[in-house]
Structure 1
Amino acid sequence: MSYIGVEATSTYFPRNIETAAILSVKTGIPEHIIIEKFGLYEKHVADDTMQASDLAVAAARPILEKIDPLTIDVVIYFGSPHKDYNVWSCAPKIQYELGAKNAYAFEIMNVSSCFPIALKVAKDMLKSDESIENILLVGGCKESQIIDYHNPRSRFMFNFADGGTAALVKRGARMSRILESSFITDGSFHHDVLIPAGGSKHFASIETVEKRQHYIDVVDPASMKERLDPVSVPNFEKVIRQALQKSGLSPQDIKVLLPLHTKRSMFKELLSSLNLIEDQAIYLDHYGHMSALDPCIGLHFASEQGKLQSGDIAVAVSAGTGYTWAATVIEWKGEKE
Structure 2
Amino acid sequence: MNTRVDNEVSIGIAETGVYVPPGVETAADMAKQTGIPEEVIRQKFGLVQKHVADESMHASDMAIAAARPILERIDPLEIDVVIYYGSPHKDYPVWSCAPKIQHALGAKNAYAFEIMNVSSCFPIALKVAKDMLAADRSIRTILLAGGCKESQIIDYQNPRSRFMFNFADGGAAALVKRGETGNRILGSGFLTDGSFYDDVKVPAGGSAMPASFDTVRNRLHAIDVRDPADMKERLDSVSIPNFIAAVEKAIANSGYRVGDIDWLLPLHTKRSMFRQLLQGLGLSEQQAVYLDEYGHMSALDPCFGFHLAKNRFQPGDLIVTVSAGTGYTWAATAILWEGASVNGL
TM tier, smaller: over 0.9
| 2:90 paired with 1:83 | yes
| 2:216 paired with 1:209 | yes
- Of 201, 219, 226, which aligns to 1:194? 201
CA distance in 2, matches of 1:174, 1:21: 44
* Structure 2 counterparts to residues 32-111 of structure 1, below 5 A: 32-111=39-118
Specify the alignment match of 1:327 in structure 2.
332
| 2:260 paired with 1:288 | no
Specify the alignment match of 2:321 in structure 1.
316
TM-score, normalised to structure 1, is 0.98
| Matched AA of 1:98 | L
| Matched AA of 1:13 | V
Specify the alignment match of 1:237 in structure 2.
244
| Matched AA of 1:127 | A
CA distance in 2, matches of 1:156, 1:227: 15
CA distance in 1, matches of 2:162, 2:114: 29
Give secondary structure in 2 for the equivalent of 1:109. Answer: coil
- Of 261, 267, 274, which aligns to 1:260? 267
CA distance in 2, matches of 1:111, 1:157: 13
Give secondary structure in 2 for the equivalent of 1:61. Answer: helix
Specify the alignment match of 1:120 in structure 2.
127
Q: CA deviation at 1:93?
A: 0.2
Give secondary structure in 1 for the equivalent of 2:277. Answer: helix
| Matched AA of 2:318 | I
CA distance in 2, matches of 1:135, 1:335: 20
CA distance in 1, matches of 2:66, 2:135: 28
Give secondary structure in 2 for the equivalent of 1:23. Answer: helix
Q: Report if aligned partners of 1:113, 1:320 keep a CA contact under 8 Å in 2.
A: yes
* Structure 2 counterparts to residues 176-191 of structure 1, below 5 A: 176-191=183-198
1:238-268 alpha-carbon deviations (Å, 9 max, x no partner): 0101110111111221111000000000000
1:61-119 alpha-carbon deviations (Å, 9 max, x no partner): 00011000000000000000000001100000000000000000000000000000000
Q: CA deviation at 1:275?
A: 0.8
Q: CA deviation at 1:307?
A: 2.2
CA distance in 2, matches of 1:227, 1:105: 38
* Structure 2 counterparts to residues 131-210 of structure 1, below 5 A: 131-210=138-217
Q: Percent identity?
A: 68
Q: Report if aligned partners of 1:256, 1:307 keep a CA contact under 8 Å in 2.
A: no
Q: CA deviation at 1:202?
A: 0.3
Q: CA deviation at 1:334?
A: 2.9
Unpaired runs of 5+ residues, structure 2, are 1-6
Q: CA deviation at 1:333?
A: 1.8
Q: CA deviation at 1:182?
A: 0.5
CA distance in 1, matches of 2:339, 2:63: 25
CA distance in 2, matches of 1:98, 1:335: 26
CA distance in 1, matches of 2:60, 2:174: 15
Q: CA deviation at 1:174?
A: 1.9
User: What is the number of equivalent residue pairs in this alignment?
Assistant: 335
Give secondary structure in 2 for the equivalent of 1:197. Answer: coil
Specify the alignment match of 1:29 in structure 2.
36
Q: CA deviation at 1:335?
A: 2.7
Q: Report if aligned partners of 1:195, 1:217 keep a CA contact under 8 Å in 2.
A: yes
| Matched AA of 2:21 | P
CA distance in 2, matches of 1:311, 1:99: 35
TM-score, normalised to structure 2, is 0.96
Q: CA RMSD in A?
A: 0.9
